[in-house]
Chain A
C-alpha cells in the first residue's frame, strides 16, 4: 500500500490532530448526545472510543467527520474547524460508517469507483484495488455484485475501499461488526501497518479485546460524557490491584442474589450482573469467595460456574460504567 503521506501540512509537531474542548451536541436543545467532551488525539495515535449503545460514540464520530455540527464547545480536526472548513477536512480523512454503504456494482467496481471519486489516477487505482482485494480476501468474489454478498463480506468491502485513497486520519465506527476472527485480525493488523506509516486512527468498538490489541489510548463514554480516558496500560494498572471473579448461579433469584452480594461485599467491590451471571471486581478475592459461598448456602443457590482471573480492559469498562465517579479523564 502506498504511503498515506498527507498532501498538505499537518498541525505543527506536538499539536494534536484532533482537539475537543467541552464539546456538546443536542438534537433538540434539551437532551445532549454529547454533554461536554474533552480530549486530544496526537498524530499516529490509535484512539479508541468505548461505550454502551447510545453512549455518544457515533455522534462524536459524526461531529469529527463534519456530518453534524456541534452545539457548543471547541472542536478542531487537523487544526481546522469542522463547521467552517468541512470540505478541507473531509479531503484528508477516511470514514468507515457503522451502517453499510456500497454502490450497486461489483466488489471490484466498488473499490474502483470509490478510488475514482477521490481522484486517484487509473493506474494507481488498479494497483491499490488488486492489493486490497488480496489483503481483505475478496479476490474470489471480486466479480460478484456487492449487494449479493454476505454481511461480513460487505463489511470487508466497506473497509477495504477506504484504503483506496490517502488520508491523515481514519475514522472507523464499529468496523469489525460481522467479521470472523481471522478477518478481524487481518483488519486490525492492516490498521497497525498504516499507523506505523503515520496514519492516525479513531475507532469505536464494543469489542474490548480489539481495543486492547490496537489502541494506544481509550476513552469510555457514557451518556455523552467521557468517564475514563487513559492508555490501556494505565487503565489496567489503575484497576490492576483488583481481581475479577466470574460467577454463575442456579436455583435462586439471580438479580436478588447479586444485589445482596454487592451489599455484603461493600463499596470497595463492584458487582455487575446480567440474570444469573455476574462479574465481581475486588481487592480481596478470598473474602469475596467466602461471602459467595455463605450467601449461596443461605439462599439455597447452586454455584454453576466460578472463576478468579486477572483484570482485563473489559473489567475496566464495566467498573467505569458502574462507578463513573471513580474513573478519571485525562485529555
Chain B
C-alpha cells in the first residue's frame, strides 16, 4: 500500500534536502545561540544586577526556530526550480497544490521538531520548562502560526528570486534583520532609538517571541492575544501572496 502523495512529497523533501550536516546546523545553530548568548550575556546582566538572561533568552530562541523552518521551505522550492525537480515533479503524478502543501508541511515539521529539540536543550541548561501542558500546547500553537508566516515569506522569496547569489543574500539579510530587530534577544525598551522601536513593533517575530515567552511562563496577556491575531492576519496575507507568486512561477530558470 503506497503512502498518500502528500506524505511521499514530505518524505522526499526531508530525505533529499536535509543531509546530516544541514540538520546539525538547523538545530545546532539556535542551540549555539542559546549557549553563547545565554551564558555570555547572563554574566553581563549578572554584573549589572538584573534578572536571569538565560531564562529570558530560552523562549526567544524557541521562537527563532520558526525563521529557520521558513528558510527550509524557501530553499526547497528554490533548489527544486534551480535543479529541474520542480518541473520533473509536476510532470509526474503531483499537482502544484500538493507540491506546495508538501513544502509547507515540511517547514512546519522542522519548526516543531527544532522547537522540541530546543526545549530539551533548555531543560538541560535551566532545569525548568513550560509551566503546564496547556502552556506547552499554547507555545507549540504559536510556533505553528509563526512557521506558516515565515514559511510563506521564504516561499515568496523562493518563487520570485532567480539568482543563487540574490536568494542567499536576501535570505541572510532577512534573517539578520528579523532576528535582531525582535524581542528574541532583548526586550523592547524605551531606551531604543525610535526607528528601531518601530521595527521591533512591526516585526512578526516579536509577536511570536512575546507569545512564546508568555506561554512558556504561563502568563499570556491580552497584548499577546492581539499580537497573535495580527500575526494570523499577516500570515493569511503573506500566504496568499506566496501562493499567487508560486502558481505563476516558471517551472525552471531556462
Contacts and interface: CB of A to CB of B under 8 A. Distances in A.
Interface of A: 65-67, 86-87, 90-91, 93, 95, 97, 99-105, 109, 113, 116-121, 147
14 contacts: A65-B91, A87-B93, A87-B95, A90-B94, A91-B93, A97-B84, A99-B87, A100-B83, A101-B87, A103-B12, A103-B83, A117-B9, A117-B89, A118-B93
B91 A103 contact: no
Contacts of A67: 87, 90-91, 251
Contacts, number: 74
B3 interface: yes
Nearest to B17: A104
Interface in B78-100: 79, 83-85, 87-95
Interface residues of B, number: 27
B250 to A, nearest CB: 11
A119 B2 CA distance: 5
Contacts of A86: 95
A101 B89 CA distance: 10
B244 interface: no
Interface string B50-85: 000000000000000000000000000001000111
Main secondary structure of the interface of A (DSSP, over half): loop
Nearest to B87: A97
Given A102-B83, A119-B2, 16 more contacts: A67-B87, A67-B90, A67-B91, A90-B91, A99-B252, A101-B83, A101-B84, A103-B12, A103-B16, A104-B83, A116-B11, A117-B8, A117-B93, A117-B94, A118-B93, A119-B3
Of B17, B92, B95, most buried by chain A (CB within 10 Å of CB) is: B92
Contacts of A105: 15-16
Contacts of A100: 83-84
A113 B12 CA distance: 6
B12 A117 contact: yes
B92 A117 contact: yes
A288 B11 CA distance: 66
A101 to B, nearest CB: 3
A101 B16 contact: no
B84 A99 contact: yes
Nearest to B11: A116
A104 B16 contact: yes
Contacts of B16: 103-105, 109, 113
A12 B24 CA distance: 55
Contacts of A66: 91
A90 B93 contact: yes
Given A101-B83, A101-B87, A116 B12 contact: yes
B170 to A, nearest CB: 21
A148 to B, nearest CB: 13
Of A66, A91, A103, most buried by chain B (CB within 10 Å of CB) is: A103
B204 to A, nearest CB: 30
Nearest to A110: B16
B87 A119 contact: no
B193 to A, nearest CB: 43
B105 to A, nearest CB: 15
Contacts of B88: 95, 97, 101
A103 B252 contact: no
Contacts of B19: 104
Contacts of B89: 117
Given A87-B95, A91-B93, A104-B83, A99 B15 contact: no
